[in-house]
């Protein structure tokens, strides 16, 4: 579609359910040794951070490194994001630095209102016009990190067509709510459930798991958190260390057993439909249309992952 000023528009996002985002690796944008290797870590997305991992005194220098950092991250075939600062003046500076052809998405932390997201949308549109980028091409990843944000999460998740993912920033929320730090994440299960529900209701991809993103020393514990997140309805999660990437990718992929079960169900249900019946028993379990649709979803998810992983460079984890 073409806008009134002749700029190409892609306001309507692609099918969000097709997004493969099992793992998104966050790293400081100004540490070149991390950035140069990021595309070989196997993550489904790379997040160049201008927020929490960059000190206030280094933010301007970090912005200056973004052109080269974006080029380095683009050596892989996965989406490249920039985590911007949520404070307005810092946000404007971040967008001025990062909106360029190599940028796929921005990650907005501390989202607290629909108006905040709409302002980000307008700022992105303005810079897309100035830099002759397709309108709406830069997508948005939303992160809720406060009680106010959680209260407004349903309106936030619907505030922009650019939005594609929704996540919970648990550490900031626990601090605000004065919750004890717990290893298994049980203290915020109610909040995670709210994020998953809001994301699915708005056709966004929910990213997360109960537990701390900082837990990269105990991978067994991290794996349990990821498995819990999968059972809750999450489709992937953020991480801050390359060692976490493989755990996320495996945890949010369908196992061989799940794929085999799904294929068996789909085959049996198709045969049942050919006989004029919309229900059948498979291994003692009743299979009707919802169960068959879930099985088809598993097969489709597995196919998308295979195609996505086939485009990635060779993985290097150290």
> In this predicted structure, what is the pLDDT of residue 186?
85
Q: Where are the domains of the chain?
A: 16-253, 256-309
Q: What's the rounded Cα separation, in Å, for the pair 66 and 97?
A: 7
> In this predicted structure, what is the pLDDT of residue 317?
57
* Low-confidence winner among 89-103, 180-194, 197-211, 251-265 (lowest mean pLDDT): 180-194
Tell me the per-residue pLDDT of 224-239, one tens digit each, with 9 for 90 and over. 999 999 999 999 999 9
Tell me the per-residue pLDDT of 39-66, one tens digit each, with 9 for 90 and over. 999 999 999 999 999 999 999 999 999 9
Q: Name the percent of the chain lying above pLDDT 70.
A: 92
The distance of Cα 142 from the centroid of its chain, to the nearest Å, equals 9
* Segment 140-157 mean pLDDT: 98
CATH number of this structure's domain 16-253: 3.20.20.60
> In this predicted structure, what is the pLDDT of residue 12?
42
* Low-confidence winner among 166-170, 175-179, 223-227 (lowest mean pLDDT): 175-179
- Whose CA is closest to 103, among 48, 38, 180, 160? 48
pLDDT band at 9 (very low <50, low <70, confident <90, very high): very low
């Amino acid at each position: 579609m073409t806008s009134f000023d002749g700029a190409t528009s892609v306001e309507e996002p692609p099918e969000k359910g097709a997004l493969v985002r099992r793992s998104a690796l966050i790293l400081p944008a100004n540490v070149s040794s991390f950035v140069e290797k990021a595309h070989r870590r196997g993550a489904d997305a790379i997040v160049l951070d201008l927020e929490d991992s960059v000190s206030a005194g280094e933010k301007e220098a970090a912005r200056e490194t973004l052109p080269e950092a974006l080029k380095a991250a683009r050596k892989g075939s996965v989406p490249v994001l920039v985590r911007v600062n949520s404070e307005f003046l810092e946000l404007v500076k971040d967008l001025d630095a990062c909106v360029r052809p190599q940028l796929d998405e921005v990650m907005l932390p501390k989202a607290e209102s629909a108006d905040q997201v709409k302002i980000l949308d307008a700022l992105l549109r303005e810079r897309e016009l100035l830099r002759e980028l397709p309108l709406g091409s830069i997508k948005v990843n939303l992160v809720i990190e406060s009680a106010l944000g959680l209260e407004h999460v349903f309106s936030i998740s619907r505030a922009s067509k650019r939005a594609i993912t929704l996540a919970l920033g648990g550490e900031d929320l626990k601090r605000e709510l004065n919750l004890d730090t717990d290893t298994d994440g049980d203290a915020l299960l109610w909040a995670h459930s709210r994020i998953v529900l809001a994301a699915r209701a708005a056709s966004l991809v929910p990213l997360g798991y109960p537990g701390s993103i900082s837990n990269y020393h105990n991978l067994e514990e991290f794996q349990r958190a990821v498995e819990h997140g999968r059972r809750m309805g999450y489709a992937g999660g953020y991480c801050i260390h390359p060692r976490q990437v493989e755990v996320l990718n495996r945890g949010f992929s369908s196992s061989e057993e799940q794929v085999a079960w799904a294929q068996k169900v789909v085959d049996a249900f198709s045969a049942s439909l050919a006989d004029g019946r919309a229900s059948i028993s498979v291994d003692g379990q009743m299979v009707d249309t919802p169960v068959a649709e879930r099985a088809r979803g598993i097969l489709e998810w597995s196919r998308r992952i295979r195609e996505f992983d086939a485009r990635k460079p060779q993985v290097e984890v150290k």
